[in-house]
């Protein structure tokens, strides 16, 4: 790899990330690191239509059983769902392969919101994902920025190099519009990269005054901070394995936990977990996904240790699935789904929202009707975990009506 001043200037002029090593890219424009204090909000996007009626099933509902004769979660038998209580008098059962989440629920650290989602006539993955990333709904003006970007821009206080991090290979769509974002995939690969010696060369090339040299030096400071602190982490105890899997969500959450433990002042983080588009053979494929979700989140919070007392995860998907199964043992794109809020500050052990019913007259073109706008849940998380006092700048088209999910 050859690093030149011209390549650095080109990257910065385009408003992109400074890529100094495999696995980590640091955004330009951040100020000095913030103190490693305060609450951390993690946005977990379950992309490609997670079936909320499988994750949290009204298993005793006759309409549910009739419309899903082969794939429905059962309320009894060897593979029965786990009864979490009722929503508007309708008992709800957690998918048996997601049973690892019940401990959080019983400890009142996990809450569900059923029949939640986006008010839209679309059933398109990409259109609906785009709207959720931007915090909007149908027939609203495109804000051309992400909801988390607007949240971070509206927060009071100095900007830090690690305010917002995206776990992946590029800018998270929900953070588009916020300059102080770091994107990473592998913290270890970065910390021990062979490109480390280039840091001083780049610093000397940008010793002058001006916005560009300032931004590059800030980015290098962020790089140095990770390299310095990662060596101070205590070694892993083989007898204290958090229990990560070898699956895609653990692959994302394990390095994120390591970054958070460096205590660099992260305020928000984004994580994507795809693979929920189950048009066929849903029973087995959904089970694997649910197992990965539960085991990875359990390992993540165990790995965080005492830091878990500052971390709140909000999980959602662009839509749920149709109530009736199709002829291939799967489900098509739907409307209402399930959101989860897990971790610090959650008034859990409860299912929130309004249950619309599954009779034909209650459905939205064959789908579970949305009764809770997803932005009400996101807005409550931002308000109660980050003391967001300008929520109208984040979600300008809706009035804030908290459900009481967080204390």
- Helix count and strand count (H, E) for the chain: 13, 14
The b/e string for 242-251 (b: 16+ C-beta within 10 A; e otherwise) is bebbebebbb
Q: Which residue carries 């009722």 as its tokens?
A: 86
User: What is 341-381 written as a DSSP string?
Assistant: EEETTB--SEEES-----SGGGSBTTBPPP-EEHHHHHHHH
pLDDT confidence of residue 37: 47
* pLDDT confidence of residue 188: 75
Interatomic CA distance for residues 88 and 72, integer angstroms: 20
Distance of CA 406 to the CA centre of its chain: 17
Q: Which of 112-126, 164-178, 213-227, 237-251 is predicted with the least confidence, judged by mean pLDDT? A: 213-227
Residue 158 is predicted with a pLDDT of 56
Element (H or E) spanning 313, and its range?
strand 311-316
pLDDT digits (tens, 9 = 90+) for 331-378: 999 999 999 999 999 999 999 999 999 999 999 999 999 999 999 999
Q: What is the pLDDT of residue 226?
A: 85
Q: Is the pTM of this model over 0.75?
A: yes
Say which residues have a Cβ less than 8 Å from residue 24's Cβ, sequence separation at least 6: 182, 183, 184, 185, 186, 187, 189, 190, 223, 226
Cα–chain-centroid distance for residue 101? Answer: 16
Tell me how far apart the alpha carbons of residues 165 and 184 are, in angstroms, rounded to a whole number: 7
Nearest residue to 370 via CA among 29, 30, 115: 115
Range in 71-80, 180-189, 302-311 with the lowest mean pLDDT: 180-189
Q: Give the pLDDT of residue 194.
A: 45
Q: Which domains, ranges and CATH numbers included, belong to the chain?
A: 5-394 (3.40.720)
**Angle at the Cα of 386 from the Cα atoms of 382 and 388, rounded to 5 degrees:** 65
Cβ proximity of 322 and 96 under 8 Å = no
pLDDT in tens, 278-311: 999 999 999 999 999 999 999 999 999 999 999 9
């Amino acid at each position: 790899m050859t690093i030149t001043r011209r390549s650095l200037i080109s990257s910065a002029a385009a408003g992109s990330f400074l890529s100094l090593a495999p696995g980590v890219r640091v955004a330009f424009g951040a100020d000095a690191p913030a103190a490693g204090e305060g609450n951390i909000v993690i946005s977990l996007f379950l992309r490609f239509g997670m079936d909320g009626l499988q994750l949290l099933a009204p298993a005793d509902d006759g309409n549910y059983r009739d419309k899903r004769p082969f794939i429905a979660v059962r309320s009894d038998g060897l593979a029965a769902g786990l009864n979490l209580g009722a929503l508007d008098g309708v008992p709800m059962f957690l998918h048996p392969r997601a049973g690892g989440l019940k401990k959080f629920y019983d400890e009142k650290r996990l809450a569900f919101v059923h029949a939640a989602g986006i008010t839209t006539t679309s059933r398109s993955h990409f259109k609906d994902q785009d709207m959720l990333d931007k915090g909007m709904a149908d027939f609203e003006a495109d804000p051309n920025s992400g909801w988390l970007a607007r949240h971070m821009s509206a927060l009071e206080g100095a900007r830090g190099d690690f305010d917002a991090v995206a776990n992946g290979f590029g800018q998270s769509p929900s953070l588009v519009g916020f300059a102080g974002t770091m994107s990473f995939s592998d913290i270890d690969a970065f910390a021990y990269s062979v490109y480390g010696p280039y840091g001083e060369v780049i610093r000397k090339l940008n010793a002058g005054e001006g916005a560009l040299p300032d931004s590059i030096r800030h980015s290098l400071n962020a790089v140095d901070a990770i390299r310095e602190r990662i060596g101070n982490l205590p070694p892993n105890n083989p007898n204290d394995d958090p229990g990560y899997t070898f699956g895609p969500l653990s692959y994302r959450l394990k390095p994120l936990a390591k970054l958070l433990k460096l205590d660099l002042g992260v305020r928000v983080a984004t994580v994507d977990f795809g693979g929920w588009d189950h048009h066929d053979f849903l029973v087995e494929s959904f089970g694997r996904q649910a197992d990965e979700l539960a085991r990875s989140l359990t390992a993540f919070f165990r790995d965080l240790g005492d830091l878990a007392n500052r971390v709140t995860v909000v999980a959602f998907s662009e839509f749920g699935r149709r109530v009736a199964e199709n002829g291939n043992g799967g489900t098509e794109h739907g409307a209402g789904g399930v959101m989860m809020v897990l971790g610090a500050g959650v008034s859990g052990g409860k299912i929130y929202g309004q249950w619309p019913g599954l009779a034909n007259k209650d459905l939205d073109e064959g789908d579970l009707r949305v009764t809770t706008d997803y932005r009400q849940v996101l807005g409550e998380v931002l308000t109660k975990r980050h003391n967001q006092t300008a929520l109208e700048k984040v979600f300008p088209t809706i009035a804030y009506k908290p459900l009481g999910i967080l204390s």
